[in-house]
Structure 1
Amino acid sequence: MLGCKPANFPIEVNHHLGSGIGDPVDKERYLRLVKRLYLSHTRPDIAYAVGVVSQFMHDPHDSHLDAVYRILIYLKSAPDSILFSNHGNLRLEAFTDADWVGSGDDKRSTSGYCTFLGGNLVTWRSKKQTIVARSSAEAELLLKNLICELLWLKLLLKDQGAIHERSMRLYCDNKAAINIAHNPVQHDKTKHIEIDRHFIKEKLDQKLICTPFVSLENQLADVFTKGLSCKQFNYIVCKLDMRNIYAPT
């Protein structure tokens, strides 16, 4: 891939990748390529794209292989690194988002989140949900894993002698999901996720977390749930403090 023209983002907007699209390709070759994209554990900018192509390892087609090649071409032009700096605080914050019925095969949503400690990106995740959400609000209400991660980070800080007394901010761009989390009266249509709802409400009542609204333009978790345009993708990657350490100053 060294002779290819670099790409500015790792996956196409509205890619519509699904099972059986295109001609079958060599399965072993496809598996080797995808497995070598393990660097997504240190590269949040490709986490969503790698998650998408990983879904077709059992039956890869040429459209899926082209998507893998796209990631490789993007990596060629983007030797980014996450930079950490002292912002003078140890605030715990997180951004969460979900792409409702983003999968064309099973209509499941893709959840994504990222957490910041003192303004520095420390954890992130992009994962297809295990159930089919009945609404976009429900898709974004599945916050239990993120809240558990924030509580774990808070305990980790405590073990290091740093006490985090403020409520941890969990930014969401869906006002309906925020209202449902705070108001039990609106839970008539979400009884099938009652346990998660009680867990979230308990942490809100204890003021361990708060859920401020964030605009779509400033939703950093978008990069973990869907393919973005070049402009929006580069804006979010910059906000995640990813920089090309080889770029001329």
Structure 2
Amino acid sequence: MTDAKAAGTLAEKSIRLQKATDQEYQAFLSRTFLYRQAVGSLIYLNATRPDISWTISKLSQYLDKPSMKHVTAVKHLFRYIKRTKSNTLVYKPTDNNLKAYRDSDWAGSIEDRRSTTGYVSTLGSAPLSWKTRKQPTVALSSCEAEYMALAECTKEILSLRSLKHR
């Protein structure tokens, strides 16, 4: 990947990840790409890169049976990181307002129709905490998926507020 062309986006626009068929998995096994190790290194990097959190969450759902589509998505993410490696989190003295932003996709998973929650909380100008994960239950409507995301985000804000006031 050292000589790979840098990518300007987190993922390819048309890619839709899903569990590999047995034939796709066998094609993956014939290659020597260390998918689990690659995703593991991305998870480690996620501690300082909130912009890649959602993509890593999606890629890590297929650790048990990846296909070459998953490998392509991992390589694309590495190319994006190559282009944005100089991006940093900058913490400046600000008004110290604690803010949070959250979203969810309704039934975004093709296999089990569960939604994904994502949120980021900021203190002043930079991200303080962030998370992306599949919701534990199936939401019956987009409104329900948004409420589950709101509940997760609210728990995080309450926790951070208690730390702020100590």
Return the TM-score normalized by structure 1.
0.60
Deviation at 1:146, TM superposition (A): 1.6
Deviation at 1:120, TM superposition (A): 2.5
Is contact 2:6–2:82 with CA below 8 Å preserved after alignment?
yes
Q: CA RMSD in A?
A: 1.7
Q: Name the residue aligned to 1:64.
A: 70
Residue 15 of structure 1 pairs with residue 22 of structure 2: no
For residues 194-205 of structure 1, the aligned pairs below 5 Å read none
Q: Name the residue aligned to 1:107.
A: 113
| Distance in structure 1 (CA, Å) of the matches to 2:123 and 2:55 | 25
Q: Name the residue aligned to 1:152.
A: 159
Identity, % of aligned positions = 34
Q: 1:94 to 1:14 in 2, by over 3 A?
A: farther
Deviation at 1:28, TM superposition (A): 7.6
Q: Comparing both chains, which one has the higher relative contact order based on Cα–Cα distances under 8 Å and sequence gaps of 6 or more?
A: 1
Deviation at 1:151, TM superposition (A): 1.1
For residues 51-130 of structure 1, the aligned pairs below 5 Å read 51-79=57-85, 80-87=87-94, 89-130=95-136
| Distance in structure 1 (CA, Å) of the matches to 2:59 and 2:157 | 28
| Distance in structure 1 (CA, Å) of the matches to 2:33 and 2:9 | 26
| Distance in structure 2 (CA, Å) of the matches to 1:42 and 1:51 | 15
| Distance in structure 1 (CA, Å) of the matches to 2:53 and 2:118 | 9
Deviation at 1:94, TM superposition (A): 0.6
| Distance in structure 1 (CA, Å) of the matches to 2:139 and 2:14 | 20
Is contact 2:106–2:145 with CA below 8 Å preserved after alignment?
yes
Q: Name the residue aligned to 2:38.
A: 33
| Distance in structure 1 (CA, Å) of the matches to 2:10 and 2:135 | 22
| Distance in structure 2 (CA, Å) of the matches to 1:136 and 1:14 | 23
Deviation at 1:119, TM superposition (A): 3.1
Runs of 5+ unmatched residues, structure 2: none
Runs of 5+ unmatched residues, structure 1: 160-249
What do the CA deviations read for 1:41-74 (whole angstroms, capped 9, x no partner)? 2101111111111011000110111111111111
Say which SS state the counterpart of residue 81 (structure 1) adopts. Answer: coil
Deviation at 1:81, TM superposition (A): 0.8
Deviation at 1:14, TM superposition (A): 4.9
Amino acid at match of 2:5: K
Q: Name the residue aligned to 1:166.
A: none
Amino acid at match of 1:83: V
